[in-house]
């Protein structure tokens, strides 16, 4: 199985809990906390082969790639300038970002002694890099590790997503049960998930959806018919929802909804070729397995939470493959 890890996602997820627990009192210690959080998340994921802790049987890994964001999402901001700008107005994010970036640089350095790939491009998002690797490896079982819901659109018979927070593997078989929002009886078909996201928007990326459309309304519309059918016949919205919705119908009649959806599709669709897809090889650094160096680094870092025998076994497995 090809394991694709969203590095920034795991870096931030690992940093805050450790910061609260370890209470670093200097920048040097903050840098160490960030590195421990990132390394623990990535290496633990590799040791478990993209499964939840305690899983009895794990798949055999044939390849591992860790993708990192770098810089700012300029391509998407050229389409919608406010994209992901909210985090840059968050003092906590701006204060901690240099610490996270130093951890990424430090991890990238030690990864030179590991049989894994680091994929990173200037002003390029990990989402596009991972999507490009998925596109480039047909016929291979793949698992993406991230809490980012945008990756759910890539789920297929070949591609699954492991959410480290929920400790849940989402695949084509359990997709509906896994992604149905709280309060909803069901979910729209998997092939309409991207349009569901385009309708409701994504607050974490500062990307608004269609006014008046929440999760339940979007599911109601998309469970009944494809989204484009409502652009052709806005009047059908009332019949499908079973209630009057003048604001929503007006948005579909005057073109507002179409403009928002088309913009969001362009920004959210990870199946659309990104410029980085043609540069994946140039953006990839491939490590060479050096067990002695890596074992010494593990001992120095005192990563006691890791199952080191399982991790070393995975690395040997990858090197041999």
Q: What is the pLDDT of residue 244?
A: 87
Q: Which part of the chain has CATH 1.10.150?
A: 181-268
List the chain pLDDT tens, one digit each, 321 residues.
Answer: 999 999 999 999 999 999 999 999 999 999 999 999 999 999 999 999 999 998 988 999 999 999 999 999 999 999 999 999 999 999 999 999 999 999 999 999 999 999 999 999 999 999 999 999 999 999 999 999 999 999 999 999 999 999 999 999 999 999 999 999 988 888 999 999 999 999 999 999 999 999 989 999 999 999 999 999 999 999 999 999 998 889 999 999 999 999 999 999 999 999 999 999 999 999 999 999 999 999 999 999 988 789 999 999 999 999 998
Q: Which CATH number is 2-178+278-301's, of 3.40.50.10470, 3.40.50.1010, 3.50.50.60, 3.30.930.10?
A: 3.40.50.1010
Q: Say which CATH topology domain 181-268 has.
A: DNA polymerase; domain 1 (1.10.150)
How far does the chain reach from its first CA to its final CA, in angstroms?
11
Report residue 176: phi and psi, to 5°: -60, -50
Task: Please name every residue paired with 144 in a beta bridge, in sequence order, or none if there are none.
Answer: 4, 161
Q: What is the pLDDT of residue 77?
A: 97
- Closest CA relative to residue 313, chosen from 132, 15, 43, 32: 43
- Closest CA relative to residue 102, chosen from 5, 30, 16: 30
Q: What is the pLDDT of residue 56?
A: 85
CB-side neighbour CA atoms (13 Å) of 86: 9
Token match 């349009």: residue? Answer: 195
Q: What is the pLDDT of residue 116?
A: 98
Q: What is the pLDDT of residue 303?
A: 84
- Closest CA relative to residue 268, chosen from 124, 133, 83: 83
Residues 239 and 45: their CA atoms lie apart, in Å, by 47
Tokens standing for residue 179: 């992604």
Residues 119 and 286: their CA atoms lie apart, in Å, by 9
Could you tell me if 128 and 276 are in contact, meaning their C-beta atoms sit under 8 angstroms apart? yes
Residues 160 and 142: their CA atoms lie apart, in Å, by 6
3-state SS string over the chain? CEEEEEHHHHHHHHHHHHHHHHCCCCHHHHHHHHHHHHHHHHHHHHHCCCCCCCCCCCCCCCEEEEEECECCCHHHHHHCCCCCCHHHHCHHHHHHHHHHHHHHHHHHHHHHHCCCEEEECCCECHHHHHHHHHHCCCCCCEEEECCCHHHHHHCCCCEEEEECCCCEEECCCCHHHHHCCCCCCCCCCHHHHHHHHHHHEEHHHCEECCCCCCHHHHHHHHHHCCHHHHHHCCCHHHHHHCCCCHHHHHHHHCCHHHHHHHHHHHHHCCCCCCHHHHHCCCCEEECCCCHHHHHHHHHHHCCCCCCHHHHHHHHHHHHHC
Q: Which part of the chain has CATH 3.40.50.1010?
A: 2-178+278-301
Q: Which residues contact 201 (CB under 8 A, 6 or more apart)?
A: 207, 208, 209, 210, 260, 264
Residues 146 and 8: their CA atoms lie apart, in Å, by 9
């Amino acid at each position: 199985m090809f394991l694709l890890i969203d590095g920034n996602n795991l870096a931030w997820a690992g940093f805050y809990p450790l910061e609260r627990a370890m209470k670093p009192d200097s920048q040097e210690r903050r840098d160490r906390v960030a590195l421990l959080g990132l390394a623990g998340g990535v290496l633990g994921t590799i040791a478990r082969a993209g499964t939840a802790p305690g899983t009895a049987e794990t798949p055999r890994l044939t390849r591992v790639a860790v993708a990192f964001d770098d810089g700012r999402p300029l391509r998407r901001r050229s389409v919608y300038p406010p994209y992901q700008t909210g985090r840059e107005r968050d003092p906590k994010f701006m204060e901690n970002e240099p610490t996270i970036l130093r951890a990424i640089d430090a991890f990238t350095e030690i990864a030179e002694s590991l049989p894994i790939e680091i994929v990173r491009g200037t002003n390029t998002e990990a989402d596009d890099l991972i999507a490009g690797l998925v596109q480039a490896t047909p016929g291979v079982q793949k698992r993406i590790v991230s809490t980012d819901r945008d990756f759910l659109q890539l789920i297929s018979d070949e591609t699954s997503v492991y959410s480290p927070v929920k400790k849940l593997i989402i695949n084509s078989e359990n997709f509906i049960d896994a992604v149905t929002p709280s309060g909803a009886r069901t979910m729209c078909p998997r092939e309409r998930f991207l349009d569901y996201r385009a309708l409701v928007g994504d607050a974490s990326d500062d990307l608004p959806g269609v006014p008046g459309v929440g999760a339940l309304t979007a599911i109601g519309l998309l469970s009944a018919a494809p989204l484009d059918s409502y652009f052709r016949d806005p009047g059908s919205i009332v019949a499908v929802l079973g209630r009057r919705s003048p604001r929503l119908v007006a948005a579909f009649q005057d073109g507002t909804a179409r403009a928002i959806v088309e913009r969001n599709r362009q920004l959210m669709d990870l199946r659309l070729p990104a410029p980085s897809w043609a540069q994946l090889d140039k953006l990839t650094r491939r490590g060479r397995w050096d067990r002695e160096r890596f074992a010494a680094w593990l001992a120095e870092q005192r990563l006691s939470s890791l199952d080191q025998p399982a991790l070393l076994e995975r690395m040997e497995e990858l090197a041999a493959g």
